[in-house]
Structure 1
Amino acid sequence: MTAKPLFLPFVVMLALAMVPTCVTAAPLPADLRDIAHAWAHVTYEVAPGAQDDAYQALEARAEKLVQTNPGDADAKVWLAIILSTHAGEHGGLGALGMAKQARALLEQAQAIQPDALDGSIYTTLGSLYDHVPGWPLGFGDKDKARALLLKALQVNPDGIDSNYFYADFLYRHGDRAGALAAVKKALAAAPRPDQPLADRGRRAQAEKLLQTIQSHS
């Protein structure tokens, strides 16, 4: 418990901004679709006090899928997403450990299929590099974050996630005009019919970011 304040800025930023980014317009296989739906439910509908156990259970399901299908990049990305989101809810030293595990899974997925899930590897990695503390506590790196988020936009230029996370990055680093343009593009993104709950959650985050940017213009 004594280490938790040391990681408080990281935990707060994760909780506010780093709900990971992997829901796509393309249909998912049934097992991954079930995990995606469960992730959206836990993230947006389960009370914060119950999320820790729910994420742990979901991680166990995703880990089993990764072990059964070690060459499946999508499964690795989804496990990374669950770990990253859980890090924001969990806090403390465990949050950084989960973030490091998520980074390793995303790098493995990138080696298998670089464009998996419409560039979500780059969006999620970019957000991790942006929000995790830098050396010596963690692996955070603003320059790497920017490069990865721009790569995500190359793969998925019109996506709600790729534009939202780039907007968040730009705003936090002082580029309000760029952030405003990016968040408006996120809000203009086409809906994903098979993931209405995830879309509603991300859109609510984007609308909140838009209001924040406008209030500080």
Structure 2
Amino acid sequence: MNIVTKKLFGLMLIGLLFSNVTFAGMNEDVVQLQKSWEKLKYQTPTAQQEKGFEALLAESKAVTAQYPDKAEPLIWQGIIEATFAGVRNGISGQLAALSLVKSAKKSFDAAIGINPNALHGSAYTSLGSLYYQVPSWPISFGDNQKAKEYLTKGLELNPEGIDSNYFYGDYLYKTGDVSKAETVLKKAL
């Protein structure tokens, strides 16, 4: 190897090492967001969830800013925004919830634009669940046809996933296809 080739190889190796450190750090940060979300969602009293999700949303925005070219933090930011919207209380809280679901939609759309396969297509599943759960225009962006498109894409990317099967089954149930919903929901178990 000549000196130029050795230096070039060395620079490539350093770049590879730093990219792996960044990826490992991002994964740890995303896993921490997931664990914090799970604790708030399933182990925190309802009365304390609103403040908890407000703090977790700030944390998720910091992680997303740290990894602007990665879809995974955006997906978790969207999940946190959507969940936070669901725990908002009172009239002002409900108005803020509409803003949060719109922000969650933007987070999922951005994640799909970066890497549609990230987290086994979770952005599609989460976006689909928003489309069938939020009110339609003029209040919000709810749309059962778009919900079905996104949910089936999420299911295509993760056919055995609990979330992809659960949300598609829930969508089918809420739109009146009870027998198909039962089949899909059994798969989620």
TM-score (norm 1): 0.72
The corresponding residue for 2:51 is 53
The corresponding residue for 1:145 is 147
Measure the CA separation in 1 of the matches of 2:117 and 2:41: 25
Structure 1 segments (4+ residues) deviating >6 Å: none
Higher radius of gyration, 1 or 2: 2
Matched, 1:106 2:108: yes
Per-residue deviation at 1:70? Answer: 0.8
The structure that is helix-richer by fraction is 2
Per-residue deviation at 1:79? Answer: 0.5
Measure the CA separation in 1 of the matches of 2:27 and 2:64: 14
The corresponding residue for 2:38 is 40
Measure the CA separation in 2 of the matches of 1:120 and 1:36: 13
Matched, 1:62 2:60: yes
Aligned to 2:87, the other structure's residue is in SS state: helix
Per-residue deviation at 1:119? Answer: 1.0
Measure the CA separation in 1 of the matches of 2:137 and 2:71: 28
Deviations 1:49-68 (A, max 9, x none): 00011001111111001111
Q: CA RMSD in A?
A: 0.9
Deviations 1:16-48 (A, max 9, x none): xxxxxxxxxxxx811111111010000001001
Gaps of 5+ in 1: 1-27, 188-217
TM-score (norm 2): 0.83
Aligned residues: 160
> What amino acid maps onto 2:46 in structure 1?
P
Q: Percent identity?
A: 41
Per-residue deviation at 1:135? Answer: 0.7
Task: Determine which structure has greater relative contact order: mean sequence separation of CA pairs < 8 Å that are 6+ residues apart, divided by chain length.
Answer: 1
Measure the CA separation in 2 of the matches of 1:68 and 1:120: 21
Deviations 1:94-139 (A, max 9, x none): 1110000000011111110011111101110001000111111110
Measure the CA separation in 2 of the matches of 1:30 and 1:109: 18
> What amino acid maps onto 1:144 in structure 2?
K
Matched, 1:72 2:70: yes
